[in-house]
Amino acid sequence: MPAVWRDTEKTREPMKVRRVTTGHDAHGKAVVASDTDVDGTTLTLLPGAEFHRLWGADRPPHFPDDGSQPDGPSYFPPLGGFRFMMFTVAPHTTSRRAAVDRHALLAEMEANLPGLASHMEPNHPGMHTTDTIDFEYIIAGDVWLDLDDGATVHLRAGDTVVQNGTRHRWRNESSEPCRIVVFMVGTPRDPSGVDVARSSA
């Protein structure tokens, strides 16, 4: 089934994203390895945000294979690894509804999305730097991409971004959720994204 999002004043049901995966049978023929719905990960302390981890691995694949999902436990890929994801940036009217305990939010983030919290700058909410090149496509809504020294880009559905390991954050000043598909490839970076976050404290 296609991605579904139901939003009302009282409830928001998590989105399910259909993922069709191909592979090879014992004779090397192309087959459908799986056809399933992927649930999103939500955070209680970050209302409206949602993260769909669709595919990924910590090393380059080798074909033919059977199409089984590789291991890739961390949110960001290591050098040579990759991630295919979709994430939703909530409108600020949603994300600002309640005061948030930052330490509790980071703890919840680490428990549900391992490795994401350690890249977040403690004194600049949302700002982070990753050891990746990110290929991003805005599929719905509006979002603002903040970079260094006040640089900001307003992005709309249909726009794309190639993010080369840059320090950034996502901000949604509209009244509707923004959904972004991203493919991330692990790359060398010095200093690392975690070191950048630590040095900003």
Partnered with residue 183 across adjacent β-strands are 84, 135
| Residue whose tokens read 């977040």 | 120
Q: Is residue 49 part of a domain?
A: yes
Tens-digit pLDDT profile for residues 141-155: 999 999 999 999 999
Sorted by sequence, the CB contacts under 8 Å of residue 158 that are 6+ apart come out as: 138
Q: Is residue 16 part of a domain?
A: yes
Number of domains in the chain: 1
Q: Is residue 1 part of a domain?
A: no
CATH number reported for the structural domain that contains residue 52 in this entry = 2.60.120.10
Q: What's the chain's Rg over C-alpha atoms?
A: 18
Q: Is residue 59 part of a domain?
A: yes
In this structure, are residues 50 and 40 in contact, taking their beta carbons and an 8 Å threshold? yes
Nearest 10 degrees: CA dihedral of 47, 52, 57, 63? -170
pTM above 0.85, yes or no: yes
Closest C-alpha to 65, from 92, 30, 96, 37: 30
| Residue whose tokens read 């949110």 | 75
Is residue 103 classed as helix, strand or coil in its secondary structure? helix
Residue 17 one-letter amino acid: V
Q: Is residue 127 part of a domain?
A: yes
Tens-digit pLDDT profile for residues 106-160: 999 999 999 999 999 999 999 999 999 999 999 999 999 999 999 999 999 999 9
Q: Is residue 165 part of a domain?
A: yes
Q: What is the pLDDT along the chain (201 residues), one digit of tens a residue?
A: 345 443 433 346 779 999 999 999 999 999 999 999 999 999 999 999 999 999 999 999 999 999 999 999 999 999 999 999 999 999 987 655 556 788 899 999 999 999 999 999 999 999 999 999 999 999 999 999 999 999 999 999 999 999 999 999 999 999 999 999 999 999 999 999 999 999 987
Q: Is residue 75 part of a domain?
A: yes
Could you tell me the residue range of the domain that residue 41 belongs to?
Answer: 6-199
